[in-house]
Structure formats: C-alpha cells, structure tokens
Amino acid sequence: MLLRVYRLTDRTGLLLIKSSIALGDWLLEGTGAARRAVARAGGGLLSLLLTLLVLLLGGVQLLLTGVIRLLRALLRGGRALLAVVGRVMGYAFSGAKVVATAGAGTVRPATSSDAIASPARRRSRRGSMVLSPDEDVRVKVAPDPLKIQNRRLSVLVLVLGAVVIGAVLWATDPSRTTDNRPLAVVPAGAGSSLILGETPVPTQENAVISLATPFPTATPQPLALRAGGTIAYTVRERGQTDIHAVGVGSTAPLRLLNDVADERDPAWSADGSRLAYASRQDGNWEIYVYDLASQATSRITFDLSFQANPTWSNDGLWLAYESYQGNNLDVYAVPLDGSDAPVRITDHESPDFSPAWSPDGRRIAFVSWRDGNQDIYIFDLDSLETFNLTATPTRQEDYPAWSADGSRIAFSAVDAGREKVFVQSAITVEPAQVMGLGRTPSWSPDGSALTYMVDADDRSQTYIYAVPYNRAGSVPAEVVSVLYGATAPVWSAQPLPPALINSGGLELAVREPLFVEQWQTYEVDAPYRLTGLPNVQVSQSELQNQVYLSDRVNDSYNALRTRLAEVTGVDFLGRLEDAYWTLERLPEPGEERRNWHMTGRAFSIARAGILGFPAPMEIVREDSDIQTLWRVYVRVAEEAQDGQFGEPLRRMPWDFLSRTGGDVQAYNEGGRLKARFPVGYYVDLTQLVLDYGWERYPAGADWRANTNSINYWLFYKPEGLTWCAGMLELHTAGQLVNFNCTPGA
C-alpha cells in the first residue's frame, strides 16, 4: 500500500514539474512578444499598458516558480517520511529491509534476492545497496536540474523586465523628441511668427493646454427609463395642436405631424411602426394612421360626424374610437383594411368615450356617465357585459390605459383639488393606488413604468415624467420638458427611425403669429390710451355705449373675436357685458374694488349666456387645491351642427340655476352638476382665450353664496403687471390717490 502511495506521489510531482516548465516557456515567449510590442509602440499610453502586461507576466512566472519549489520541497519531505515509515514498519512487523537508491532518489523494500546477492552484484545495481539495521545510510543527492533551470528562468525574467522598463522610459522621454511641433502646448493666436522646431513657452494669457481626456464614466440611466423606446404626445402652439415625439433618453423632441389643422390623440400600434391619431385636416374630425417608415398617412374613417381617441387592437387589424352619432357619443370599431363598416361597441344614452383596447384583445375600457358621474368601465367582447371598474361618486376618472399584461389600468382624476395618476386592478376588487401628481398616464411597453404629464406651477413648461411601477422608494424621472399644456403621452418600444431623427422633425405649419399688438406711447399724462372696439356692443357702459380696451391689448382681443367667429359661426364676442370701467364706477357687492376692468385689460362676456335651451354657452367647473376656475364652451351655430365646427362635450357642465330650485345642497354648494349632457357641438372658448394671451379670472372665495364673485364671465390680460402697474399705464399717480397706487408700486 505504501509503495503505491509512493509511486503515485512521485509521478504526480514529476507531472507538476514538467507542466511548470512548459508554462514557463510560454511565459517567456509572451514576455518576448510584449517586449517587441513595446518597442514598436514607441511610447504613449500603449507602451505603458504593454509594460504593465510584461510586469504582470513576470509576476505570474515568479509566483509559479515559488509554487513549484514548494511542491518539490513537499515531495522530498514526503519521500523521506515514507522511507522512515517503511523502515520502522519493516523492523516492527515483517523484518523487511529498506533499500535506498541514491541515483534514482527512490526507496523500496528489500527482497530475498537482495539478501543472497554478492557484494559485487549489489554494487553494480546502479548505486543500489541493501541496508542492514546497523548500517549507516549515506545518500548523496545530486543537484536537481529542474531547480537550476527555474532559477535561471527567474533571473532571465527579471532582467528582461528591467530592460523593458528602461526602454519604455527612454522611448517616452519628452526631452528626446525630434518632432518640430509642440506636443502639449500651443500658444493661442500663434501664426506665421511661430518658429518651427522651437517649443513656445506658454503664458497664462495665451496658452491652451491639451490635457489627456479621461475615459467617460457612464451615468446610470434612471430605472423608469430603461424600457427605452419612444414617447409621442400632443402640443398646442399658435392656436393649433400637433403631435410630437421624443426618444426615451433623448432631450430633443421633434414634430411628427404638422398640418395647419389640429392633430391629437396619438396611439401606437403594438409593433410601434404606426401611429393612429385624430385630425380635422379634411374639414371635420376623422381617424388617420401615420406610418413612420414611409412617413405616409392613411385616412381610416369617413363620416361627417366627430371621431377621435383611436386605440389599436392587439393584432393591429382594428381601431376602436369614439364617435358622435345621433347626438350621442359612443365607442365604435373599424377594420383598417376597410373590409367592413364600423361596428358599434357601446350603446347607451350617456356618453361613452376615451376607449382603450386591452393587450389580450378581448376587453375595451372606456369612460362613461352611466351612473351619474364620470367612471371607467370595461366591456367584455366575449360575454358582451359591461361593469363599472372605478365606481367613485366623488371623483371623475379619465384617460384609461392598460398595463402590458392586461391586469391593471392606469388613469388620472382630480382628487382633493389635485390631478393625480392612479393604478387599479382590472381583475380583482381593490382600491386604486396613487402613483403621484400628474395627468394622462401611459404604460411603458414592458409594463415596468408609467409616464404622465406634470405642469409647472408657473405655467412656463410641462414635464414628461416616468416612474417605476410597484417598486418601493422609486422616484419619478424626468423624460423631457416641453411646451406648457402638452398632453396625452403614449409609449412605444420602438425607437424613431434614424432618418426621421436626422431630419430634426417637421417645422411648425402656422408661420404667422396669431396677432401683432401695436400701440403708441405718450409723454403727457399716462403713457398709453384707450382704444375703441369696433362694432362691439356692451350691456353696461358709462361711455355712451362705446366699448374700450387699453391700446396695449385691443389687437389681441380683436383677433380673438375674429377667430371665435370663424370656428363657431357666431360673433359671440361682438356683445360684451363689460369692458373698460371708469374710476368713478363702484363695484357691485362681491366684486373687487381694485377691478381689472379699470386697467382696460379685462372684458366680461354676457352672463345670461347660460340661459336658454339650448344655452349659447356651457360652463364646466375646474377645482384646484387653492381656487376654483371655470371653462367656457360656446355652442356653434345651429346651421353648423353637422361636425364641421367644434366637438361634443365630454365633461358635465355646472348647473348654476339649480341653487334657486329649492335644493338645499345645491344652494349651499353654489349649484350642482347637470343631470344630462347638452347635445350638439361646442368650441372651447377658454382654450382660445389662452391662445391669444388672455387669462381666466378665478372665482372669489365666497362664490357659492355671492353670485357676483363667480367670475366665469371675466377674462383679463395682466402680462406680468400688478393691478397698480396696469392702472398707471392709463392714469397718473395723482388720479390714483384713493387707490394707494404710486409709481413703482
């Protein structure tokens, strides 16, 4: 047994020694190749890297040499121990003698043939001798040739390493360069006076020092943006809307569509190659599809009625959308190839709109007023059943969006005075989860994140944010900042085509500004004057029924009036309730003493416009956490109620008259929502007012009890001025003594 262990140990040691020799030869060859590469590099960063490689190879070789020496020492110790153990066991148990072979360096037990062999024969066995218990063992060990070879190899590597280091230092020494140009320092402004072969001395004033550029460190991409792809959204500029897009991770949005007519409601196909949208580029609202690769547009619907808000089926063969037919808004679906007529999906007396097709293709979410408030419903295409998903009587949800796996729906709604983004299960009954402040959400293609819009408090811009879904501690990441009021982001997995990116996108089709304000300044008294509004009547005026505004804002009013008449067929702003007030006019109870009408920068539409059936205008209440604002919709002319002007209402108007009908709650709340949607087409006057630089005036704190402070009729144009500054444009400081207005106030 011991003999087998001995032989195995001996052979293993020999194998390790031979392997180390082969590895050493390979390292020597690598060292030589590295040395030659260093010589060819001639200095610089490459020489430094090759030098480090040579030193690393040398270090590895020295380490292996040490390991080999350790193994050899252990092998020799093992052999000696084996000999001693064998000798002891031979005497103690079998009486066998131990034979030590000096030449071969092995130990074996003596046999009977050794005992009878003659002395000459014993001496002739290549140095073998049989030991007796009383004989001294004297073994002369010859020098190991492998040990000598390893030592020589180590010395050679060290010498080569020293030579390589010296060569690198010599090659990279700046003092020995023969280049006639300065290497690192170039005097700014040096021209023909620069002497070749002479390195100019840099000074603090004229030297430009070329430093080595460090390797850039990659900035970790926010978790919410790692899905990549493209986000399309709608932007309103110069009175019309276009569709823009931005690559996730890019800060350079581009305009995809730029017809002079409105384009909105973008929706990506599942593969991201096509974008469906709504537009009135052919005169009325229809559904179109834009192919990104060919940049071609196809019209999908052909109906004089209103069509908008398209959504794709999962196979890309159908589009669902909202359509206003028979004085009611419902959800329809149409095949893209035009093989069949549109199919009606919902049929209810209350408006159904904002459809969203599920990823499995068997469900359609939509918004409806079926239960008396604005909720999100789901229609099952298999069972043909509809159920109310949100069922919240105090919250008006909108903009449903399916997650990638079809298990959840994101939406936005005003809650506690702030517009928020929610996520709710589409399968199980559970409360909605608040994701953050924002509106019009959309899922990332892989369902890992949500994107939505957030308006800056100062209304300077709108931010597109993305936030990881269902990850504790995650914070929203800004995708890009865009023009204020941008909305409806939709996320595709596909990047924009390189040709489209390189083009920079389309230009704004509306080249001319909506208006040009002109005025004249005066050196006597106040710097500006009042200007009459032509052919405008007013209900209340102290100036012989003549209507005036400041010369600083009258042009924008006239342009607004003209535009509203064009899109409604009615000269709605040809008759006002109020415009400029004289200083002597006292406000009604509830009206502010410092009234903007006195600055010539405000006008009031006729309050009685809410009366009648149908009423000339409808008012929608919009609350925030600090104030109440109103959105005014003007009904288009009756002869234009065929879809060519305006669009149907999606938000329930406020019923001011209900506060006088005996309803105690309506009286205390200043009114209530109307019970039914007004039929017909309307134009958003408030949006046009904002387009032309005017602003709506917030309701007073007591508007529920005081009708004079409701202010849905009042619009003004401060342009950053305080009330006193606006007054001093038309009046002298002496005239404003009673108002405590002085120059600079």
Q: Is pLDDT at 358 greater than 50 in this prediction?
A: yes
CA distances 580 to 167, 222, 601, Å, are 91, 53, 8
The predicted pLDDT at position 679 comes to: 96
DSSP letter string over 576-597?
EEE----TTPPPPTTS-SS-GG
The predicted pLDDT at position 217 comes to: 47
The predicted pLDDT at position 106 comes to: 39
Dist CA 524 CA 732 (whole Å): 10
Dist CA 455 CA 451 (whole Å): 14
Q: Judging by beta carbons within 10 Å of its beta carbon (0-12, 13-18, 19+), is residue 629 exposed, middle or buried?
A: middle
Q: Are 441 and 406 in contact (CB under 8 A)?
A: no
**Which pair of tokens denotes residue 130?**
């049989």
**Which pair of tokens denotes residue 218?**
């990659």
Q: Judging by beta carbons within 10 Å of its beta carbon (0-12, 13-18, 19+), is residue 738 exposed, middle or buried?
A: exposed
Q: What SS3 string covers 167-204? A: HHHHHCCHHHCCCCCCCCEEECCCCCCCCCCCCCCCCC
How many residues are listed for the chain in this entry?
A: 745
In this prediction, residue 190 has a pLDDT band, given cuts at 50, 70 and 90, of very low
CATH H-level, domain 228-503: superfamily: TolB, C-terminal domain (2.120.10.30)
Q: Is pLDDT at 394 greater than 70 in this prediction?
A: yes
- Segment 207-212 shows an average pLDDT of 36
- Other beta carbons less than 10 A from residue 373's beta carbon: 17
Dist CA 618 CA 633 (whole Å): 5
Dist CA 646 CA 636 (whole Å): 7
List of residues 6+ apart from 241 with CB closer than 8 A: 234, 235, 262, 263, 264
The predicted pLDDT at position 70 comes to: 63
Cis (ω within 30 of 0) for the bond into 534?
A: no
Q: Is pLDDT at 243 greater than 50 in this prediction?
A: yes
Q: Tell me which of 34-38, 548-552, 554-558, 626-630 is least confident.
A: 34-38
- Other beta carbons less than 10 A from residue 149's beta carbon: 14
H or E element in which residue 55 lies:
helix 45-89
Residue carrying structure tokens 């600083």: 552
Q: Is pLDDT at 653 greater than 80 in this prediction?
A: yes
Q: Judging by beta carbons within 10 Å of its beta carbon (0-12, 13-18, 19+), is residue 214 exposed, middle or buried?
A: exposed
- Kind of pairing between the strands at 575-578 and 537-538: parallel
β-bridge partners, 254:
245
Reduce the DSSP state of residue 402 to 3 states and report it. strand
Query: Considering only CA atoms, which of 729, 322, 247, 278 is closest in space to residue 531?
Result: 729
**Which pair of tokens denotes residue 68?**
């080999």
- Segment 609-624 shows an average pLDDT of 95
Q: Tell me which of 87-101, 224-238, 663-677, 709-723 is least confident.
A: 87-101
Q: What is the mean pLDDT of the chain?
A: 80
- Segment 481-504 shows an average pLDDT of 93
DSSP letter string over 414-441?
EETTEEEEEEEESSS--PPEEEEE-EEE
Rg value, the chain, Cα: 45
- Kind of pairing between the strands at 185-187 and 386-388: unpaired
- Other beta carbons less than 10 A from residue 577's beta carbon: 17
List of residues 6+ apart from 284 with CB closer than 8 A: 304, 305, 306, 643, 644
Model pLDDT for residues 407-460, shown as the tens digit of each residue:
999 999 999 889 999 999 999 888 999 999 999 999 999 999 999 999 998 889
Q: Is pLDDT at 101 greater than 90 in this prediction?
A: no
Q: Tell me which of 46-60, 333-347, 380-394 is least confident.
A: 46-60
Model pLDDT for residues 455-476, shown as the tens digit of each residue:
998 889 999 999 999 876 678 8
- Segment 166-185 shows an average pLDDT of 45
The predicted pLDDT at position 398 comes to: 97
DSSP 405: T
Q: Judging by beta carbons within 10 Å of its beta carbon (0-12, 13-18, 19+), is residue 442 exposed, middle or buried?
A: buried
List of residues 6+ apart from 107 with CB closer than 8 A: 6, 79, 82, 83, 86, 98, 99, 100, 101
Higher pLDDT, 169 or 288: 288
In this prediction, residue 125 has a pLDDT band, given cuts at 50, 70 and 90, of very low
Q: Are 416 and 625 in contact (CB under 8 A)?
A: yes
Dist CA 612 CA 638 (whole Å): 14
CA distances 222 to 54, 229, 434, 468, Å, are 41, 14, 21, 9
Angle at which helices 145-171 and 2-41 cross, to 10°:
20
Reduce the DSSP state of residue 465 to 3 states and report it. strand
- Domain chopping of the chain, boundaries: 2-171, 228-503, 530-739
Q: Are 646 and 683 in contact (CB under 8 A)?
A: yes
Model pLDDT for residues 572-611, shown as the tens digit of each residue:
999 999 999 999 999 999 899 999 999 999 999 999 999 9
Reduce the DSSP state of residue 643 to 3 states and report it. coil
Higher pLDDT, 651 or 39: 651
- Segment 94-122 shows an average pLDDT of 39
Model pLDDT for residues 514-543, shown as the tens digit of each residue:
999 999 999 988 999 999 999 998 876 555
Q: Is pLDDT at 713 greater than 90 in this prediction?
A: yes
**Which pair of tokens denotes residue 570?**
């009615």
| CA quadruple 337, 339, 345, 350: dihedral, nearest 10 | 90
